[in-house]
Structure 1
Amino acid sequence: MVRRYEPLTVARLGALLADADETRRWRLVAEFLEEYRWEPSERRAALLQQEPLTTGDEHWDVFLAALTEHLAAKDGRGAPAWVETRSLRRFWFPFNTRAARVDAVVHAPAAFRRRGVFVSAQELNVA
């Protein structure tokens, strides 16, 4: 049986993150971003539509919403409605060194900042 290639969706990414350690989570995010970049722009919106189930970690649940909004905005589209329900009450710095914190405060994309997730745009481009 030949399986047809299907790019990773944000919902599937969320399911994979649920069972992964931190290092694997970042690798999965990088894989998702790489696949997303290679998809034709007219197919990208479909990769973001379905709301992911919880990963079991509120930080990562909010990260997925921020990532979805960020990618949709980069493509000139609005984000799916499900992203509006996710935000943190306390800031989260996934890369928590002094230099990474400063870089994230200065360079975090708006979709991440407004949800309390501080990750620099550069970290999202390293796929």
Structure 2
Amino acid sequence: MSELIRSARRRLGLSIYGLAERLGVTAGAVSQLERSERAGTIKLSSLERALEALGERLTTSTSPATMADRHLLSARSAAEAIGAELRSADPSAALRLTSQAIDHFRQARSENEIADFLEEPEPIGDERWDTLLATAVAWDAGERGITPPTWTDRPPLTSDWVPGPDTEHSDEYIAYLRAAAEPAFLEKGIVVRARDLASA
């Protein structure tokens, strides 16, 4: 997994025998240390001791886990990708990305990942899609008992909208969709069913 001991030893121009002498062990024991480090089975105390003998100090640090670490969308990256699809005139792909973002939000495992997902995105540039993403995030957060961030509280659209390709829908079709639409979305003027937001 790593070669910290071997690399430090070579930087000093020190042979296995030289390090063995510093540690008060045999050359075979040093060779075994280096092999166990490469295999990822070395004890932390043994690694620290060997590095100290080489005049180096082992340090570790942590950083909050992010959605990107697991190759998952956050609200920020989803908004950016949705905007790119809209600029490419592909609203179907934009809708799929909205669904995928919600699916990825559900995969957030830690408080850090949830907080990372919920950071406010840059505007998509289309009020309807900004409202759809915000409403979808607020809806799913509420379903999970998570307080939605303030950026998800957007005013309703001025007229009903069916997300996806900009096609004319009959009044009958709109009425059919409205009957099965999610109330949280209808309140925002978005006519969409929960299954329409399910990631395939």
Correspondence list, 1:44-59, <5 A = 45-59=114-128
- 1:47/1:92 Cα in 2 relative to 1: closer, same or farther (>3 Å)? farther
The count of residues paired between Structure 1 and Structure 2 equals: 125
Bigger mean CA offset, 15-24 vs 39-48: 39-48
Kindly, what percent of the aligned residue pairs are identical?
26
Distance across 1 between alignment mates of 2:190 and 2:154: 14
Q: What is aligned with 2:80?
A: 15
Distance across 2 between alignment mates of 1:103 and 1:28: 24
SS of alignment partner, residue 8 of structure 1:
coil
Deviation at 1:7, TM superposition (A): 2.1
Query: Where do 5+ consecutive residues of structure 1 fail to align?
Result: none
Q: What is aligned with 2:185?
A: 112
SS of alignment partner, residue 98 of structure 2:
helix
SS of alignment partner, residue 70 of structure 2:
coil
From 89, 92, 106, the counterpart of 2:161 = 92
SS of alignment partner, residue 139 of structure 2:
helix
SS of alignment partner, residue 85 of structure 1:
coil
Amino acid at match of 1:50: E
Deviations 1:52-107 (A, max 9, x none): 22212111011011101111111012211112234311111125645752343122
Q: What is aligned with 1:25?
A: 94
SS of alignment partner, residue 62 of structure 1:
helix
SS of alignment partner, residue 19 of structure 1:
helix
Bigger mean CA offset, 3-12 vs 53-62: 3-12
From 147, 151, 175, the counterpart of 1:102 = 175
Bigger mean CA offset, 25-34 vs 93-102: 93-102
Amino acid at match of 1:14: A
For the 8 Å contact 2:103–2:199, the answer to whether it is kept is: no
Distance across 2 between alignment mates of 1:27 and 1:62: 16
From 62, 65, 89, the counterpart of 2:131 = 62
Distance across 2 between alignment mates of 1:42 and 1:100: 41
For the 8 Å contact 1:63–1:117, the answer to whether it is kept is: yes
- 1:39/1:106 Cα in 2 relative to 1: closer, same or farther (>3 Å)? same
Distance across 2 between alignment mates of 1:104 and 1:42: 35
Distance across 2 between alignment mates of 1:124 and 1:41: 23
From 51, 66, 79, the counterpart of 2:148 = 79
Superposition CA RMSD, Å: 2.5
Q: What is aligned with 1:34?
A: 103
